[in-house]
Structure 1
């Protein structure tokens, strides 16, 4: 049986990313029957359904998922060889870039990123997607997200990971209800706010559980956004990363930070992208810009040197 040609493989890669026959046809500027015919040929060639329709979504099989990474990277390398190299000019780029952030990441990282874009006089449309830690890998591999930042540790060889900043946790409360000096009993009689760990911040829940403080949780919320106002109006306490607590104290001056009585380190915030060969010039530029904007002091050259090493 003849090997698939490049057009067939490109159709497969785009269908994997788009999960829709119609959207794939639009992306490739062909008709939907052409995509359906190509899929039939690919199914015959690989002796697998590759995609199964579930409602309006084409869900990839295990075989399709196995094929996608190597085929996507191979096509990206071919495109890089045959395309005419152009010097990328951020000031002339007006396309869309998608950044995956948690709600807490939006509050702490978006201001410096937008300031960095302004300094470079760059005018992309930046689309921020709310990040669920369980969906980071799929979004990056499919290309629905260009870059993502999370404390979740994703060990797949399909992605590059670069450390952005360390994460140290502290306690935050209203200055009208200060916490005593750091000691094992500093939380005695205090009530807590617990925030969902969907964004990857699992340390607070683990710490509350390990130190027998879960019965003192009085409020559970999905997002950090309302927590500072709640703290100012109550005697509640929240455990959260130091860099976020410092931002909140800048917005709400009646809050104060207290050190934890036990080690409060977790996995660092990391930036994830596709593998180097699969990145466009715009994505490579944006990655460097984001690293420079949000890094906690590590030399940018050192960070970029880490790219290509799956931690």
Structure 2
């Protein structure tokens, strides 16, 4: 038996891995009753497990409050790394390379840039709900904190435009390209198939706010300054539904993903942007932690995201 196997065996003797499973769920749900329901054990069994965990870590781990449990700083520190580490450890102990998504329990978190999520999220949700019915899928916006959360395992995988400025602890794999168009209501007075810079002088703009990307400035208006064109920004919102309603009621123009334009419905039309007008690079990539890029869950999520892109393109 090699040193690695000896170390794993020693760890298993020191702590029942089921206790760590209880700790993982407690950190997520912060309530002993909810943890018991999710783990399919009794609430007293969860309390006994918590008592043993407190003794092992020499820390209270949770402080009771009116609504449940508040993790201590020690529990937060453990919880940031526990999901990825526990999954990997079970793989080693069980010696089983077969991955069955039906056996995924608990939270799976995917971070997606807001422009991409509008068209990618629906087919991805359908695929994961069908193949991993026991998983609790969390789809979150890509934000400034996302890279750190990928590194520590709180987010399993991300999708963002490429290249992204991220730490070397993360790996980026370019997977596809998206183009950009101008969206407006179907009966909008602009009736040309291609829009040129001067046309933007005649209509106000709407823009979707994407965290950690365009909160400080509107990229479209910045590009148009080089053409001495200064359109009025009439609406900025993080909610696509609000923007779409405004487009129905006004003559606003909305720069957006061409893939998003395909799924918003028959009330709208997409106008091509003049090729001479430089637009934002539409390459996008999968982003995951180096340490978990070969983990079965990461590989499976990568497969599902690629399949969801194909699903979106086929619609």
TM-score, L = length of structure 2? 0.62
Matched, 1:207 2:219: yes
Aligned counterpart for 1:77 among listed residues 79, 88, 91: 88
Q: Which residue in 2 is equivalent to 1:222?
A: 238
Q: Which residue in 1 is equivalent to 2:278?
A: 263
Q: Which residue in 2 is equivalent to 1:33?
A: 47
SS class of match (1:131): strand
Shift of the alpha carbon at 1:89? 6.6
Q: Which residue in 2 is equivalent to 1:166?
A: 177
Aligned counterpart for 1:108 among listed residues 115, 119, 125: 119
In 1, Cα distance between equivalents of 2:216 and 2:184: 15
SS class of match (2:247): helix
SS class of match (1:265): coil
Aligned counterpart for 1:192 among listed residues 189, 205, 217: 205
The CA deviation string for residues 100-127 of structure 1, in whole angstroms up to 9 with x for no partner, is: 4577545422565578789xxx654486
Closer, same or farther in 2 for the Cα pair 1:76/1:32, shift >3 Å? Answer: closer
Shift of the alpha carbon at 1:239? 1.6
SS class of match (2:234): strand
The CA deviation string for residues 199-241 of structure 1, in whole angstroms up to 9 with x for no partner, is: x653894315635789812233332235456435532111222
Unaligned runs of 5+ in 2: 1-10
SS class of match (1:197): coil
Matched, 1:241 2:257: yes
Shift of the alpha carbon at 1:187? 1.8
Q: Assess if the C-alpha contact under 8 Å between 2:176 and 2:285 holds in 1.
A: yes
Q: Assess if the C-alpha contact under 8 Å between 1:231 and 1:255 holds in 2.
A: no
Q: Assess if the C-alpha contact under 8 Å between 1:164 and 1:269 holds in 2.
A: yes
SS class of match (2:201): coil
In 2, Cα distance between equivalents of 1:180 and 1:290: 32
Shift of the alpha carbon at 1:37? 1.3
Aligned counterpart for 2:142 among listed residues 133, 137, 143: 133
SS class of match (2:241): coil
Shift of the alpha carbon at 1:168? 4.2
The CA deviation string for residues 71-108 of structure 1, in whole angstroms up to 9 with x for no partner, is: 54443333112326374577xx4877857457754542
In 1, Cα distance between equivalents of 2:126 and 2:98: 23
In 1, Cα distance between equivalents of 2:152 and 2:65: 18
The CA deviation string for residues 130-184 of structure 1, in whole angstroms up to 9 with x for no partner, is: 5233475688789887655444958367766543333444433355324796655
Equivalences for residues 266-305 of structure 1 within 5 A: 266=281, 268-272=283-287, 275-276=292-293, 279-280=296-297, 284-294=299-309
In 2, Cα distance between equivalents of 1:163 and 1:264: 19
Aligned counterpart for 1:19 among listed residues 20, 30, 52: 30
In 1, Cα distance between equivalents of 2:288 and 2:195: 39
Aligned counterpart for 1:5 among listed residues 9, 15, 20: 15
Q: Assess if the C-alpha contact under 8 Å between 1:166 and 1:269 holds in 2.
A: yes
Q: Which moved more, 1:231-240 or 1:208-217?
A: 208-217
SS class of match (2:183): strand
In 2, Cα distance between equivalents of 1:83 and 1:293: 31
